[in-house]
Amino acid sequence: MQLALYVTMYSPLQMAADLPENYAAHMDAFQFIKDVPVDWDDTKILEAEPGDYVTIVRKGKGADGWYMGAITDERARVVNVGLSFLDPGKRYKATVYKDAAGADWKENPEAYVIETLTVDSGSF
């Protein structure tokens, strides 16, 4: 799964580049591809080390929703960033698409979990 690339790499031309039958087993994750905006009103880099990792958050163009993407090199990492970019006093429903326990870029690249959380600007 490389869903974070839809957020971390800016491109107003998004595509799902594979055979449709390869997505059929992952329609829950494909929902993200259907939902993610193709253009943004705001972008913030929350953490980065060139060549190693980056965590970016973007606000959808003309929308209230924020999208966070985090990618890394071959070394597994835990992202621990605050959500202070969210409007204070407002609660958000966050749908989190993340690697599952045991996920590995080479041996188990399709292991993922989808969670729904309620967050605010003080979360994490």
pLDDT at 55: 97
- Please indicate, yes or no, if residue 124 is contained in any of the structural domains: no
Average pLDDT estimate for 40-51? 96
Structural domain that includes position 13: 5-119
Higher-confidence position of 42 and 110: 42
pLDDT in tens, 58-104: 999 999 899 999 999 988 888 889 999 999 999 999 999 999 999 98
- Please indicate, yes or no, if residue 43 is contained in any of the structural domains: yes
Q: What is the CATH number of the domain that holds 65?
A: 2.60.40.1180
- Please indicate, yes or no, if residue 101 is contained in any of the structural domains: yes
Strands (E), the chain: 40-49, 53-60, 66-72, 92-99, 112-119
Number of domains in the chain: 1
DSSP state of 94: E
